[in-house]
Amino acid sequence: MDSRDVRRMLESMAATAQEAADEAKEKMQSAGQSLSEKYDAAKLNLLLARLRGEQERVFADMGRTLFLMDTGNYSEDEGHPTAQQTIDNLLLAAEQKQQEIDRLLARLA
């Protein structure tokens, strides 16, 4: 084996090593991107669960207010909102939560 053969063999080995390194780099980047996407989706799902819980509390407040109105026990003291104002505010809050939920669902899709 002369020096040219040795040189070709070394060049071939170097090219093969470079190809393997490039493939490994691509796979690591792909895995990192996949992990990042999964992390982002998990964060969005946690936020979605929090928003749904907040919306459920608004619905509970709405039901409580309607019950108090129906039983005549809703107190409309001076400086406090009327029952209708309270319901209107709760409806607005529920709609705002729903809009936030819809935006998150669109991002997750």
pLDDT digits (tens, 9 = 90+) for 31-41: 777 888 888 99
d(CA 103, CA 25): 35
- In this structure, the number of other CB atoms found within 10 A of the CB of residue 86 comes to 20
Helix (H, G, I), strand (E, B) or coil at 77: coil
Tens of pLDDT along 21-77?
Answer: 788 778 777 777 788 888 899 999 999 999 999 999 999 999 999 999 999 888 888
Banded model confidence at residue 107, pLDDT cuts 50, 70, 90: very high
